[in-house]
Amino acid sequence: MATSSAPDPRTFTAWTEAFTYPIPTTRQLERRLRTDATAASTKLRDLVGASYRDLLDTANAIVDIHGQTEDVERLLRKVGGRLDVRGIERGGRNIREWRNRGGDAADRKERLKRSAMAGVLRGAVTYVEAVVTGEIGADGNTLTAAKVLVVGRLVGKALSARQEDADKKTVEVWGRRLGNARLKLLRLLDRRLQRPRGADDNIDPESITALVRDLSAFALATSSTPSEVLRHFHHVRLEAIRDQRLGPKSKSSLVRRLRLYFRTLKESKATFVDLMAASLKTLAAGTLLQDPCVKGLEQLGLDINAHWIDEDVRNFTPWTRHEELSKAKADELQKAWSAEALVALSETITVDLEGLDNIQTVVDGRKAFLQTWLTGRQYVRHLDERPALDRLRSPFRARIIALLSNRFADLESAVHDPLAQLLSDETSIEKPPSLWSADITSHDVGQGAVSFKARIVTARRGHSPSITTMLVRFDAAAESIAQAQILVKQMRDTKWDDDYDDASSDEDENSKDASISHDTLSNADPQAIQTALAHSTTTAYAKLDAFLQEQTGTSENLTKINCNAPNAPGVLVLRVLNELRARAPQGDHFLNTQQHLQAKLAQHVSTQTAPVLASALRRTYVSNHKGDAGFSLTMLWDNSDPSLPVQPSPAAIRVLKHAVQIMGDLGPDLWGEKDAVQMLKSELFTVVREAVQTCVAVVESNKGASQNIQNGHTSSGGDTTQAEGSESKTKDRTIEGNDHNGTEVKEEPVAVGGNSDLMEGVGAQKKQKLVQLLFDVLYLQRALAPAADTDGIPDVLLDALGEPFDKDDTEELSRLRKAANDYWKRTYLLFGLLV
């Protein structure tokens, strides 16, 4: 159905009339009202936006007019203050006096000339000072300042020649100011010549134009020839290359110096001779006062003063000698400078690198620097390629080697300083921590097991806090050296981009030069550094070894060093040596010193074990309580024919257990080296052989308890001193009275076996003792000297036993060896440190 059109809201007399219509009509009225409101807002916004800028310009103009009005009022107040009656009378009086003093027309003309030229001199000084102080921008104005300087110098010279005495002092003052302004202008030109304009790699026409303008200004201000200007330009750039203020010590400063070197060569070639000659020729084309740049300066006021200036000044034209420098001479100067600047560049790089202590930074700087050289070496074709490259890369190689030497010095001092301090005061040596100490067992593992594991490992290796600190410093220095080796590998793997392309040269020759350069950079330098690294490694460890030898007394003679306690100096040094040997590169570093201390340690253990062995053998094989009564040795023999021992006597077990106990007291970590254990075994077996020989002699003599075994020798033999015998007897009484567990040992009568064939011709008791002693020797030989041969068995024992034990291939001896080996396989875990 058709809907009626909505009424016009503008015809309503009250807002309630809108709700007298049906709901659809009311909604139409709402939509119309919203549309009209939006349209009105948009229209109003457009109108305001269109007129806003006009209103803003008008407001700015009003503000400017207000400021100008204030300036005019201030000036009028100043002028009005001066225009009083007395001031006007004084001015009129001065004019009359000046006219009366003026004399004739010639004098007045001369005064006007002096006044005009003095004004030009003051204006010249003012303009040059404004340029050098920055009041007037230097870009584009340095050449104008040089022209004004020349004009001022000419005018000042003319005034000095004709000035009256009354005004000569004033002229001298302005002349000195002009001279100072000239020096400042030259310094400004030097600063502008030092800093290239635009990008470091490429030169653009604007930068060349500015450079030519500054060089022309220098030539005009100093009356220099083109060759002198080129030499000065080279000198300024050489000082810029040497300037330590070029930038902070970093790889960018190194590259910046090399780019300045190449930039100078490119700008010299682009500027000299043609552009510079053209610029100087332009200066000589007309008089200075007619130059538009000079003529239009307000400071000089030449529109009024030019008429009164002397004619020779007005007609002065610079003599620039623009044709003085030939192309060949310019090339010769450039080649000479490039060689001199290359030397200066190498020296400056050396100084820069001394301020870099990070090898990574030096290696990165080397790569960036030499890559820049390879990219721009087409500008130095006149130089010999190989010497130039060697001169530039040698500072980097020398600095890397020096930094490596410093790291090796840190490696040496990490051990040398703290160890020397500890050895100088033995009371400061701490005992190694116990694995079951309260600090470890009560350690908080709430933060993870890493620290707990580290403390266990530290205790297991016997590291005291001082050793731990020492090794941390050593590992840090060693890690830095390892990182340096990685950097050397990176140097060898570096890929070089070479854009060298000389169309006028032979292609094969260019390829050969590039190949030589790449081979030198990627192989020769890393190889030299690697050689120096190996030499420094050997030297550092050799110095440490010499220091340790000096401390332990092995460099001259085998002086005594205390190894009798876990915190003894010798034990401390040996622990440090073991760690250093584990960390040292392949080689025999510290080997002699380590073996010396291991031998000392083995001597200490063997010395402490010898009395126990002597006492145990005496208790087992020599009766010392009831005449000839001995121990029952055949109780555990086998039942074969003949009957032989199958297990060692308590003496053999006791001596091994005692040795292992001493080893554990000193520290289990000291016996991790196989050589140390073998050395100890050798010392112990020597003690065993001596003790067995003495024991056999005692048994053979059948003297029983009348003789005592002391440290492998009889007391009746006359070889042992009275002090040794007294010490041994004291130990014997202690050990004989109790067994290993502290219980009293009772003697039993010897039970003679029933093998009459084996014992024929020899006393049964003596035979049993000797056979059991042989088994003990074989068992100890298996434990201490694994080589199964008869060389370890004392000859006196075999001779005493006689047949069938005096031959190596007898069945009885083979059975004893097999039984000893089998028993050792069953019991070796009891003696873990000796295995």
Residue-wise pLDDT tens digits, 33-76: 888 889 888 888 887 777 777 788 888 899 999 999 998 998 88
- Mark 680-692 as b/e (b = at least 16 C-beta within 10 Å): bbebbbebbbbbb
**H/E element holding 328?**
helix 327-354
Range of the domain at 46: 16-81
Q: What angle do CA 245, 250, 254 make, to 5 degrees?
A: 75
55 in the same domain as 158: no
64 in the same domain as 198: no
Final residue in a domain of this structure, among 518, 551, 583: 583
707 in the same domain as 753: yes
Please state the length of the chain: 835
Instruction: Label residue 556 by pLDDT band (50, 70, 90).
Output: very low
Final residue in a domain of this structure, among 320, 355, 390: 355
62 in the same domain as 115: no
3-state helix, strand, coil in the chain (%, to 5): 70, 0, 25
153 in the same domain as 33: no
173 in the same domain as 24: no
- Residues 204, 303 contacting (CB under 8 angstroms): no
192 in the same domain as 338: yes
Cross-strand partners of 513: none
Integer Cα distance of 187 and 129 in angstroms: 12
- Residues 609, 687 contacting (CB under 8 angstroms): yes
Instruction: Label residue 751 by pLDDT band (50, 70, 90).
Output: very low
708 in the same domain as 662: yes
Integer Cα distance of 544 and 420 in angstroms: 11
Mean pLDDT, to the nearest integer, of 667-673? 84
Structure tokens at 595: 């073996």
Amino acid (one-letter) located at 810: T
pLDDT digits 0-9 by tens, 221-258: 999 999 999 999 999 999 999 886 655 567 788 888 89
- Residues 529, 404 contacting (CB under 8 angstroms): yes
Q: What Cα–Cα distance (Å) separates residue 170 from each residue in 158, 163, 173, 174, 554? A: 14, 10, 5, 6, 90
Give a yes or no: residue 444 inside a domain. Answer: no
pLDDT at 102: 57
Integer Cα distance of 784 and 835 in angstroms: 9
Amino acid (one-letter) located at 450: V
384 in the same domain as 347: no
Give the count of domains, the chain: 4
Of 643, 568, 647, give the one whose Cα is nearest residue 818.
Answer: 647
pTM of the model: 0.65
pLDDT digits 0-9 by tens, 261-277: 999 999 999 898 889 98
Structure tokens at 12: 């309503």
Give a yes or no: residue 452 inside a domain. Answer: no
pLDDT surpassing 90 at residue 496: no
Q: Where are the alpha helices (H) located in 449-524, listed in sequence order? A: 450-460, 465-492, 507-519
Integer Cα distance of 630 and 454 in angstroms: 54
Integer Cα distance of 801 and 805 in angstroms: 6
Helical axes 359-376 vs 385-424, angle rounded to 10°: 180
Of 362, 94, 109, 341, give the one whose Cα is nearest residue 250.
Answer: 362
pLDDT surpassing 90 at residue 185: yes
Q: Is 125 exposed, middle or buried (0-12, 13-18, 19+ CB in 10 A)?
A: buried
Mean pLDDT, to the nearest integer, of 785-809? 67
Mean pLDDT, to the nearest integer, of 1-26? 78
User: Can you give the C-alpha Rg of the chain in angstroms?
Assistant: 54
Give a yes or no: residue 454 inside a domain. Answer: no
Query: Phi/psi zone of residue 85: left (φ > 0), alpha (ψ -120 to 50 degrees), beta?
Result: alpha
Give a yes or no: residue 740 inside a domain. Answer: yes
Residue indicated by tokens 């005061």? 425
pLDDT surpassing 80 at residue 729: no
Give a yes or no: residue 441 inside a domain. Answer: no
